[in-house]
Amino acid sequence: MKKIEAIIQPFKLDEVKEALAGIGVDGMTISEVRGHGRQKGHKEVYRGREYTVDLLPKLKIEVVVSDARCDELLKTLAAAARTGKIGDGKIFVYDVAEAIRIRNDDRGEAAL
Amino acid sequence: MTPPCKDPILALAERSAGDKLWPAFPSGLTLLAVGGYGRRHLFPYSDVDLLLLVAHSRLAQEAPDAISSFLRTLWDSGLRLSHSVRTPEECAEIHDQNIELNVSLLDQRFLAGDRALYARFAGRLPRFLHAQRDPLMRNLTRLTRERHEKYQNTYYHLEPNIKDTPGGLRDYQLVRWLAQIRNVEAPQTESAFLFLARLRCFLHSRCGRDNNALTFDAQEQAAEYFAAPGTAQWMREYFLHARDLYRAAVREMESSEAQSSSLFAQFKDWRTRLSNADFSVARERVHVRAPHALASDPELALRLFQFVARHGIRLSSETEQRVAAVAPQLAEWFSMPRPVWPALREILSLRYAAEAVRSMHDTGVLRAIFPEMAQIECLVIRDFYHRYTVDEHTLVTLQVVASLRGNREPSIKRYTDLLSEMEEPALLLCALLFHDVGKGSANGAHADASLCAAEPALERIGMPRPERELVNFLILRHLEMSAVMNSRDLQDPATARHMAERVETLERLKALTLMTYADISAVNPAAMTPWRAEVLWQLYLLTYNELTRELETDRIPSAPSESPEKRAFLAGLPMRYARTHTAEQIDAHLLLDGLFRQRGVAVSLEKVEAAWRLTLVTGDRPFLFASVAGTLSSFGMNILKAEAFSNSQGTVLDTFTFADPTRTLELNPTEIDRLRVTVERVVLGRQDVRQLLQNRPKPALPSRNSQVPPTVSFNPEASDSATLIEIVAQDRPGLLYDLAAAISAEGCNIEVVLIDTEAHKAIDVFYVTAAGRKPESAQLEKLRDALRRACGG
């Protein structure tokens, strides 16, 4: 099993959700996060003060899938989240040792 | 409720006690029913509360096996038992940490056992209640307020817990307990109790456990079970009952507090001096002196809510009922077009506007003025995002705006500042009142439907057209910014351009940003995350910068369809000019332009609302803007707003909006002409403004705590051809003259000016050039020092 963690542009959420639903991935965790990568922040001038936007608002999506589905999901996710510009975000893939459904103790891929 | 002929629990307890308990305790032990069982309000699957009263604690320790064996029998027979073992002494103590024990005794009754012991205990109980009345009431009230707080102090929840949410069964019990402790009669709330009691039986049976959550599923099933015409209608009935209970609970708590502490009462009663000819204030409540006049004098009702909005004191329950009773007559009176807006505007501008509007809503007065609001009363949006019913959401948006005032939280303070920059916050509140009214109509986008409902209503109350335009804009576009936040790339310059095109002016942008802030915050208590507040603020900043950039850059191209004079006049003026002026105003300016061509200068002076406006058309020359500002100051006028525009022919159009603090112009009509002539003479160079200013009275020094530290900043990137100077400083008479003169003295030319005042703070934006280009940085440094000095006075 793999855990896929993607940092994406907030406005891309609907597209990403739809694309994932299109390949049958419905379950995901979404959180509002702030951060920066190589895009860094930028500066805005307002009321005479420089207003540094160093941490940009992003969304983090987390999905756990079976190894077999991982590549398809990565392709779909990247295609949906891409604008081609700086700040599109990143995707990280982790190995998952175990998954347990708390309700009935299902284990492994059955718990996904 | 009538007790059943034979209580099966009692039968069970008697049987079990006969086997296990009485052999070990022939005397000295009594079985009491307390809590819900004690008051004979036992619901299916609810706990059965038993109190084992023992004569001495020693007794219970001697035979613990008998007691636990007795309890086990009951437990094994399927009762959810909740028990305690106490001595009469323990029952007659205040338990601050376990107020539930004290409260449960209020519902006690004898079940079985030692009657003499019970008689001793029951004899002491009233004395205890009387002696400990104040701490008991205080603890009960504290617990209830904590519970209400947990549910945001509102009975409107889309999935309420019918026991604990405000207006739930707990509030019914609270009302009765408080009345019992105070030894007064409890208010009538039986119909609400019966509704909730039936519902609770239904919920418990449905789940097979003690579950009081009225979820969406449960609502649908309950509506069907109770044969209601529809789920929404049935929920409306629920809310009406919950409202009755909640109000009764709040009233009882307030009466208890007033009674329980004379000091508290004294503190609250200082407000009686706010009483006036119409209203009196007693015990922190407003009373109408002549309540019968409410029916014949609808304006009295408006004055009443102005009073509430000004002082934040709520209506007494008697006044509430009186006002509610005359609501139908008020509705009839308000249904005719009448100039109600000035009174409403005052209510909406005052500090406690949100409280006043809530009170108007609760008494039916809001619906009397705006029958359009009836569409959303208790209207339920059945999804998981919207926490409140539509009318409650609307009231919460007003509270959100009120909570911005004086907020120092860094992530929120910027919205607070934005609010203080609004010229007429009442218009924002008015737009919020109507923004979701369209949700009550069946089809289409609700913003359009809201606008359809608002337009005739605002016309009926006599809101002037320019103000109506802003309100209409806000209602129609209230979803625009949240839509852009969710679906557009903020870093894409097209997003800022799109937003700027939609809002057109800074004034509208500020209002729409605040509207969006309030709207999102009022969806549910967690909806406005710091993350969202940040995204909204970024969208505001980007659009703000886009609008100020185009202020200088985007000029009106020539318009071939217009007359040659008009075409020549408009060509090269900023786009902002066309957006912020009506066709009539542009025509008036065109007339002034004609006059200027004949005489070298044209000035008009008119009264607008509470202020005056001077419009000047002339040829550009150094010190022009400063001279006019100085002339106005020399007449003691206080400049609130100023704008300067120039077109491609070098014709300058300056407008100054100013206040006349000493009413010179109003009281001496000849001064109006003298002011106009003086401005003309100064512009034509026949009079020296410095001479005029020598006689000007010294400005009063601002008080220490209202000092605004001056900031002077340059932004050379904002425009292609000019440098933007933004100055925020303590306002004072003559400030604008000093600033403009400093800029001109450095040899700079003022291209565009936007002057704004918020209370004692002046926010001035100048676009300046030197010799047709952006000034050099050395020149700007000298200018910065000069401007700082000018700010200091």
What pLDDT score was predicted for residue B356?
A: 96
What gap in Å lies between CA B338 and CA B350, rounded to an integer? Answer: 22
What pLDDT score was predicted for residue B190?
A: 92
Same domain flag for B394 and B482: yes
3-state class (DSSP) for residue B414: helix
Are residues B481 and B512 in contact, defined by beta-carbon separation less than 8 angstroms? yes
Which residues of B fall within a CB distance of 8 Å from A46?
541, 544-545
Highest mean pLDDT among A22-31, B299-308, B693-702: B299-308
pLDDT band at B367 (very low <50, low <70, confident <90, very high): very high
pLDDT band at A38 (very low <50, low <70, confident <90, very high): low
pLDDT (average), residues B158-184: 92
Integer CA distances (angstroms), B477 to B327, B433, B442, B488, in order: 32, 14, 20, 16
Question: Can you give the residue range of the structural domain that contains B646?
Answer: 564-695+706-792
Same domain flag for B617 and B751: yes
Same domain flag for B738 and B715: yes
Q: Token pair 């900031």 is at which residue?
A: B711
Residue type present at position B691? Q
Q: Token pair 């000069």 is at which residue?
A: B786
Q: Is the pLDDT of residue B702 over 60?
A: no
Same domain flag for B472 and B544: yes
Inspect the interface and report whether the beta carbons of A33 and B531 lie closer than 8 Å. Answer: yes
- A52–chain B Cβ distance below 8 A for any pair: no
Structure tokens at B342: 């000035």
CATH value at residue B38: 3.30.460.10
Q: Is the pLDDT of residue B774 over 90?
A: no
pLDDT band at B243 (very low <50, low <70, confident <90, very high): confident
Q: Among B418, B492, B535, B780, which would you mutate to test the A interface (most chain A Cβ atoms within 10 Å of its Cβ)?
A: B535
Q: Is the pLDDT of residue B463 over 90?
A: yes
Are residues B49 and B35 in contact, defined by beta-carbon separation less than 8 angstroms? yes
Distance from CA of B701 to the nearest CA of A (A): 25
Instruction: Report pLDDT digits (tens) over B637-651.
Output: 888 878 888 888 888
What pLDDT score was predicted for residue B553?
A: 66
Out of B150-164, B565-579, B671-685, pick the least confident: B565-579
Structure tokens at B155: 């009975």
Same domain flag for B89 and B201: no
- For chain A, list the domains and their CATH numbers: 2-111 (3.30.70.120)
Which residues of B fall within a CB distance of 8 Å from A45?
545, 713, 715, 717-718
Same domain flag for B104 and B248: no
Structural domain includes residue B379: no
ipTM metric:
0.75
What pLDDT score was predicted for residue B666?
A: 87
Which residues of B fall within a CB distance of 8 Å from A42?
491
Global pTM exceeds 0.80: no
Instruction: Name the more confident of B93 and B433.
Output: B433
Q: Among B416, B417, B420, B489, which would you mutate to test the A interface (most chain A Cβ atoms within 10 Å of its Cβ)?
A: B489
What gap in Å lies between CA B193 and CA B472, rounded to an integer? Answer: 43
What gap in Å lies between CA B641 and CA B731, rounded to an integer? Answer: 12
Same domain flag for B478 and B584: no
What pLDDT score was predicted for residue A55?
A: 76
pLDDT band at B430 (very low <50, low <70, confident <90, very high): very high
* Structural domains of chain B, count: 4
- A14–chain B Cβ distance below 8 A for any pair: yes
Instruction: Name the more confident of B473 and B624.
Output: B473
Which residues of A fall within a CB distance of 8 Å from B712?
48
Out of A47-51, B307-311, B320-324, pick the least confident: A47-51
Instruction: Report pLDDT digits (tens) over B186-222.
Output: 888 999 999 999 999 999 999 888 999 998 889 999 9
Same domain flag for B123 and B243: no
Instruction: Report pLDDT digits (tens) over B465-490.
Output: 889 999 999 999 999 999 998 888 88
Inspect the interface and report whether the beta carbons of B534 and A46 lie closer than 8 Å. Answer: no
Q: Taking the CB of residue B201, how many other CB atoms lie within 10 A of it?
A: 14
Structural domain includes residue B196: yes
Distance from CA of B543 to the nearest CA of A (A): 11
Q: Taking the CB of residue B723, how many other CB atoms lie within 10 A of it?
A: 26
Q: Among B411, B418, B491, which would you mutate to test the A interface (most chain A Cβ atoms within 10 Å of its Cβ)?
A: B491
Among B487, B521, B553, the domain boundary falls at B553
Instruction: Report pLDDT digits (tens) over B555-601.
Output: 777 666 778 888 888 888 887 787 778 788 888 999 999 999 998 89
